[in-house]
Chain A
Amino acid sequence: MKSIRTLKISISGVRGVIGDSLTPLLLNRFAQSFGTYVNSGLIVIGRDTRTSGEMVKHAVFAGLMSAGCRIVDLDICPVPTVQLMVRKLNAQGGIALTASHNPQEWNALKFIGSDGCFLNSYEAEELLDIYHQGEYTRVGSNAINEVQRNATAVRTHIDEILKHLGKLPGSRKRLRVVVDCCNGAGSVIAPALLEELGCEVTAINATPNGLFPRPPEPLPQNLAQLCQAVRESRADVGFAQDVDADRLAIVSNQGEAIGEEYSLVLATKYILSKKRGPVVANLSTTMALDDIARQFHCPIIRTKIGEVNVTEGMKKAGAVIGGEGNGGVIYPAINFARDSQVGMALVLHYLAESGRSLSALMRSVPRYYMVKSSLPCSSHKAQAILRMVKQAYSKDQIDLTDGIKIIRKDGWIHIRSSNTEPIVRVTVEARREALSKELAAEVMDRIGAV
């Protein structure tokens, strides 16, 4: 039974625990399925720093080669670097080997299409059909290609950011930055990028060894070390990445973790001040973003949870910026992916060009209080909960795009089943802390009664 509980095959990829459910055979078959799905061709592979990365990589290589793919191996690099390189190399697709915010015993495959975006739910289903069918393309000896190692991807990624945003404007004093890479993939790019932007950089947890010094999710409670480092070095800002360097959290010059929701808020405010256009975010992202969009008279579009849903929404709307409240900033001019590198560059430009401190910038954006909770439960029970909630809040404005979102003037409640774990997620946000706690308690009480 144990192995069934740790394996999760979903729209977000194939996720499991090493030494348990995520076996080399399973990984190899998925790689063969993907090679069959993309009909051979060029595939870009990158991985985070997890200790299992090398095993996962070779299982994937063998599967892709057997299906006749040509492989470009970026080895350790952020997921957004893989996504960027898929487009730069005109590849047929890519696979990122990372379990993003999961603990170190986990790993996963995330499948990327030729547009550099993750497979959407329809594409992921097609891939699963091939996997289950079990008939994979197998080429003969002479059609097997040696893996090509590409060591310049990080360089390309940095160049791309510098090309679009440039170095920070010169001033009397360079911005002092502390970055916490969680010993993840960001270690190989973030310190260098920050230097090249023109910052004075202190990097902590920047050894890419896959031994996580803190829980990898960049939530305020996990950033004590960074906050302290910012205070001690009197830095202007602190940045925290997750292990695959797609999510970004910010620590203010006062050493306060401002909350991962505000990474996208600050980036959006900076971009809209330069160029107006639609903003796209998922349903669980802070309503501060609506206020910013309104301030610039820009439309905001809400999508289902999941990076690919946001990027598809952005393409449809022609968005100038978008992302997710969990720290995922997507700036399509550079990369159609959640990219903490791009996020850092945007926030630094904002700081440098405004000449104000991060705390001062935060005072100029609306603050809300968010409560995120979750409840382990079966999918059957999850449905019952959603039915009940729909009835209980029938008088409110309701959005059924992804689970149920109850929208009020001074706050909102969003209840949905997770894509990656057998849990129901409940997110509540309100202008006042007391109100958000009150709303959360109320909805949790009702759910508990089911």
Chain B
Amino acid sequence: MKSLKISITGVRGIVGDTLTPELIINFSQAFGTYLDSGRVLVCRDTRPSGTMIRSAVLAGLIATGCEVIDLGVCPTPSMQLMIKKLGARGGISISAGHNPQEWNALKFVRDDGVYLNSLQGEELLDIFHQGEFTKAPWNGLHSVVENGHAIDNHIEVLKRNFNAEAISSRQLSIALDCCNGACSYLTPRLLEELGCRVVAINNNPQEQFPHDPNPTPRNMNQVAALVRASNAEIGFAHDADGERLGIVTKNGDPLSEEMTLAISTQIQLERMVGAVVTNLSTTRSIDDIAEAYGAPVVRTPIGQPYISEAVIEHGAVIGGEGSGGVTLPKIQFSHDSAAAMLNILEYLATSGETISQLASRIPAYSMVKRNLQLPPNIIFASLQRMRAYAEKRLKRTTVDFTDGIKISWKDRWVHVRASNTESMIRIIAEAKDQAKAHELVDWAQYHLRKAL
């Protein structure tokens, strides 16, 4: 199966295969054309292919007359914070986020620091397909400016917006796994500056990814062992570009990635009650927590831009996704794993609670996720049949067609949809226990397969 995927989350593919320099140059020219030239920020994560992609991006942007500011290797949220500060019209983050090392991607950011939404993404694609890009003449080209302040700025913003004093006074001991990604430059320094005792692993950006960068429990064995070995108060795991966060308790238990948003929501609502934004596939615990505080929950389709826009629209106090991405609007309208981390540390420092105590207060559900690898030409048809079935047969349940098909009963739900990043259908089910959740996934898979 071919690896290229052009979607709401950007242009994603495998280097040496589908993600060619030509494709990158053309997309960068399309983006420069879309922005009507002007100032554009560029950053990248630590993937070895980043240096090649960067050159292709710079060539494309310069050719369209953009004034490029290169932030070098830094987390995507560090770049997003710089967009407003530097008055840029947009930005390109070169990172395949949680995907394995051989992947890379372009993610397009607009002038408010938020990713392009689906309509804007479509406009960009139209320009790309049309292939007629702005061509700046020789005296309309701008030299690239290197700017090494993105991480300094990020640290400064975070320290200013959280209770640095409270965190410092506790001298918390923290285990950290940066996956040798862009956060290697950010979080160890940030935590040390806040007086934490940091034990970091995989914080060498020159090295390969030691494991899959997605911060789910199966990729957090190393940091879990580190928490136990170092008697740390808590452990954190980053993806490659600082959007998703995974948590390990004081006992060395990796928490489900769904818990990152649930815990963050609990903390946030305790402080201030307001709307919570999350996507359709995220745990029902969010609804339970919100209900306890009388806060409304807004559910969006899958994809960070939907979360960002809904957070802005509803003036939400928090937004995020079950994948471990948390948006704290007081910092920015995008996922920021360092901000999510400080939000938790600030709570631990001021409340005196442990992370295990905090986690135990979250209503427990069991979630099962399964991916159905299918050729792209089958995906739509099988989702269509399932949809027809749901419309006709499932009278006593709630069916939501906002993004794929989400079928909810009183105490359980199942969600099937086409992935934005790979050629497959994702099936996610949640119920009170593991067996029921498995049952739901099997049931959905049966109907999807039957459709074939």
The residues of A with any CB-CB pair to B shorter than 8 Å are 17-20, 23-25, 27-29, 32, 50-52, 54-56, 58-59, 61-63, 65-66, 104-105, 107, 138-147
How distant is A204 from chain B, measured CB to nearest CB, in Å?
Answer: 22
A63 to B14, CA, bound (A): 16
By Cβ-Cβ distance, the 10 closest A-B pairs, closest first, are A62-B56, A140-B16, A59-B59, A19-B137, A65-B52, A61-B55, A55-B62, A58-B59, A62-B55, A24-B59
29 A–B pairs (Cβ distance < 8 Å), ordered by A:
A18-B137, A19-B136, A19-B137, A24-B62, A25-B22, A25-B25, A25-B26, A28-B21, A28-B56, A29-B22, A55-B58, A55-B62, A58-B54, A58-B62, A59-B56, A61-B52, A62-B52, A62-B59, A65-B21, A104-B138, A138-B17, A140-B14, A140-B15, A141-B15, A141-B47, A141-B48, A141-B49, A147-B51, A147-B55
- A339 to nearest B CB, angstroms? 27
Q: Are A52 and B25 in contact (CB under 8 A)?
A: no
Chain B residues proximal to chain A, CB less than 8 Å? 14-17, 20-22, 24-26, 29, 47-49, 51-56, 58-60, 62-63, 101-104, 135-141, 143-144, 208
Q: Are B15 and A59 in contact (CB under 8 A)?
A: no
- Chain A, residue nearest B100 (CB): A141
Shortest distance from the beta carbon of A177 to any chain B beta carbon, whole Å:
31
Closest Cβ of chain B to A373, distance in Å, is 28
Taken together as a complex, chains A and B put the C-alpha atoms of A147 and B50 apart, in Å, by 11
Q: Which of B14, B17, B49, B143 has the most chain A CB atoms closer than 10 A to its own CB?
A: B49
A138-B17, A144-B51, A147-B51 given as contacts; is B63 within 8 A of A23 (CB)? yes
Given A28-B56, A66-B52, A138-B17, also A19-B138 (CB < 8 A): yes
> Which residues of the other chain, B, contact A32 by a CB distance below 8 angstroms?
21
Complex CA distance for A143 and B21, rounded to whole angstroms = 15
Contacts of B139 in A (CB 8 A): 51, 104-105
B52 contacts across to A, CB distance below 8 A:
61-62, 65-66, 144
| A20 x B16 contact (CB < 8 A) | no
- Nearest chain B CB to A70's CB is how many angstroms away? 12
A50/B51 in contact, CB under 8 A: no
Q: In the complex, which residues of chain B have a beta carbon less than 8 angstroms from the beta carbon of A59? A: 25, 55-56, 59, 63
CA distance A18 to B52 in the complex (A): 22
**Which A residues touch B103, using CB under 8 A?**
141
A65/B51 in contact, CB under 8 A: yes
Q: Which residues of the other chain, A, contact B104 by a CB distance below 8 angstroms?
A: 141
Q: Which B residues are in CB contact (< 8 Å) with A54?
A: 58, 62, 141, 143-144
Residues of A within 8 A of B102 (CB): 140-142
Residue of B nearest to A105 (CB): B138
Q: Select B59's contact among A28, A140, A141, beta carbons within 8 Å.
A: A28
What is the minimal beta-carbon distance from B26 to any residue of chain A, in angstroms?
7
Q: In the complex, which residue of chain A has the Cβ closest to the Cβ of B101?
A: A141
Closest to A20 in B: B135
Interface residue from B20, B48, B63, B138 paired with A24 (Cβ < 8 Å): B63
Residues of B within 8 A of A58 (CB): 54-56, 58-59, 62
Q: B137: nearest residue on chain A (CB-CB)?
A: A19
Rounded to whole Å, the gap between the CB of B377 and the closest CB of chain A is 26
Nearest CB to that of A61 among chain B residues?
A: B55
Closest CB-CB distance, B382 to chain A, in whole Å? 32
A28 and B22: CB pair below 8 A? yes
Q: Which residues of A contact B25 (CB under 8 A)?
A: 24-25, 28, 59, 62
* Contact call B51/A18, Cβ cutoff below 8 A: no
**Residues of B contacting A29 in the complex (Cβ-Cβ under 8 angstroms):** 22
Q: How far is the CA of A124 from the CA of B359 in the complex (A)?
A: 67
Set of chain B residues within 8 Å of A50, measured between Cβ atoms: 138
B29 touches A24 (CB 8 A): yes
Q: B141–A51 contact, CB under 8 A?
A: yes
Do B137 and A66 touch (CB < 8 A)? no
